[in-house]
């Protein structure tokens, strides 16, 4: 597979990479899965507990078409530095030997894609949303908050807080893309079952 450079939203790529797994054993999740078409690219990353999906429109049908997807290694993405004053866009291409090439700010980064099969992420998308509340790992929610702040290139604040579309004990949708972003996207977050021993009321000792 080989295709000419397209303009990828590097800030979005790095934000999505925050959701990739860090486990060596799950090497196929240690990167961002990218699907291509003539008019858009879709970036996906997950660690099995949370996931982020982002769509970037490509102007004038500049996409490579229906070419095979690739998994951009997390190590490659982390090496590319992006300052607040830098352009958010970089040239992204795949070379004759299958290596991924990203050019940004005069620097060229090349690496082989992750040699693995990314899971069928569409299969875990919730088909309905019950609206029933649930409990979620606070550290997982913090990742969405941090990604939103990075994507908006500003400090974390309340207006960037992720908004959960509750779904009981099934996977919920997370609206985390900040307003004004030039991309569309969402998250999928798994809840956990509440501890039956958790507090059910204010302790007697705390009452007057």
Mean pLDDT over each residue of the chain, to the nearest integer: 92
Query: Do residue 23 and residue 99 come from a single domain?
Result: yes
Query: Do residue 46 and residue 80 come from a single domain?
Result: yes
Query: Do residue 48 and residue 107 come from a single domain?
Result: yes
Query: Do residue 8 and residue 106 come from a single domain?
Result: yes
- Residue 199 confidence class, pLDDT cut points 50, 70, 90: confident
Domain that holds residue 133: 125-189
Domain count, the chain: 2
- Residue 85 confidence class, pLDDT cut points 50, 70, 90: confident
Whether the per-residue pLDDT at 179 is higher than 90: the answer is no
pLDDT one-digit tens code per residue, 121-134 = 999 999 999 999 99
200 part of a folded domain: no
Contacts 24+ apart (CB under 8 A), 116-121: 116/27, 116/28, 116/71, 117/28, 118/28, 118/29, 118/33, 118/44, 118/69, 118/71, 119/28, 119/29, 119/46, 121/33, 121/44, 121/46, 121/51, 121/53
Residue with more model confidence, 62 or 110:
110
151 part of a folded domain: yes
């Amino acid at each position: 597979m080989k295709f000419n450079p397209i303009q990828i939203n590097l800030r979005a790529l790095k934000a999505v990479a925050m959701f990739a797994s860090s486990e060596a054993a799950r090497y196929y999740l240690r990167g961002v899965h990218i699907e291509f078409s003539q008019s858009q690219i879709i970036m996906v990353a997950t660690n099995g507990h949370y996931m982020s999906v982002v769509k970037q429109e490509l102007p004038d049908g500049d996409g490579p078409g229906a070419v095979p997807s690739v998994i951009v290694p997390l190590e490659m993405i982390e090496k590319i530095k992006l300052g607040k004053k830098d352009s958010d866009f970089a040239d992204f291409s795949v070379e004759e030997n299958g290596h991924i090439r990203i050019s940004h700010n005069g620097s060229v980064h090349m690496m082989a894609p992750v040699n693995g099969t990314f899971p069928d992420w569409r299969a875990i998308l919730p088909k309905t949303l019950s609206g029933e509340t649930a409990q979620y790992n606070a550290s997982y929610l913090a990742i969405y908050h941090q990604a939103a702040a990075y994507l908006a290139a500003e400090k974390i604040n309340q207006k960037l807080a992720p908004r959960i579309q509750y779904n009981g004990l099934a996977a919920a949708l997370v609206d985390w893309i900040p307003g004004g972003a030039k991309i569309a996207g969402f998250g999928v977050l798994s809840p956990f079952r509440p501890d039956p021993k958790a507090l059910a009321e204010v302790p007697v000792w705390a009452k007057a």
